[in-house]
Amino acid sequence: MKKILLVVGMVAVISLVQAQSKIGYINSATVMEQLAEAQDAQKQIDALSQQWQSDLTQMANDMQKKVEDYDKRKLIMSDKRRAEVEKELQDLDKKIVDFRNQKFGTNGELFSKQNELMKPIQEKIFKAVKDVADEEGYDYVVDRSSSTLLLYASTKHDLTQKILQKLLQK
């Protein structure tokens, strides 16, 4: 019963908002697919990613060969030589992990390159959204294809200063 009341309440609020505000949406994935500059940027990003992935695969294959060679020879190696080879393998494994993090990590080169190439395009799209929203009187524009839901909101609906005043009065 509570779920039904919640849904009815949400529908009522949405209806009220729609009656008083003009809301539009875009599909940013479609926009990005049709912009030549976005396609070019994505091709550059994909090429870098593929090259780095190829490098990682080669490093992993080299490591696998060295591990197999070590496994075949470890019984005839001296303790000193075995320790040296094991250290080399650990260093090689660390090098692979470091390379992966450097290229694909959260602050890696791929992330930086995506930001460098895509940010100007996204800013261009946001400006176009704002321009169309202003020209056609939209109060809100949402994106139905991404996690960034609200792309534009008319400043007449900005309650930030009122909220701050209310909080600072107490």
Q: What is the pLDDT along the chain (170 residues), one digit of tens a residue?
A: 555 544 444 444 455 455 578 888 888 788 888 888 999 999 999 999 999 999 999 999 999 999 999 999 989 999 999 999 999 999 999 999 999 999 999 999 999 999 999 999 988 888 888 888 888 888 888 887 766 566 666 666 555 666 656 666 65
Into how many domains does the chain fold? 1
pLDDT value of residue 5: 46
Q: State how far the alpha carbon of 70 is from the alpha carbons of 79, 82, 160, in Å.
A: 13, 8, 65
**Strands annotated E in the chain:** 23-26, 140-143, 150-153
Residue 25: what pLDDT? 81
- pTM exceeds 0.85 for this model: no
Show the tokens assigned to 3. 């779920």
Cα distances (angstroms) measured from residue 127 to each of 20, 123, 131, 143? 24, 6, 6, 14
pLDDT in the model for residue 91? 97
Tell me, what's the pLDDT at 134? 85
**pLDDT for the residue numbered 160:** 61
* CA-wise closest residue to 129 among 16, 28, 46, 4: 28
Q: d(Cα 60, Cα 100) in Å, to the nearest integer?
A: 11
- Please check whether residue 75 is in contact with residue 119, taking contact to mean a CB–CB distance below 8 angstroms: no
Domain range enclosing 156: 2-169
Q: How far is CA 80 from CA 4, 85, 87, 108, in A?
A: 73, 9, 11, 37
**Integer Cα distance of 159 and 30 in angstroms:** 32
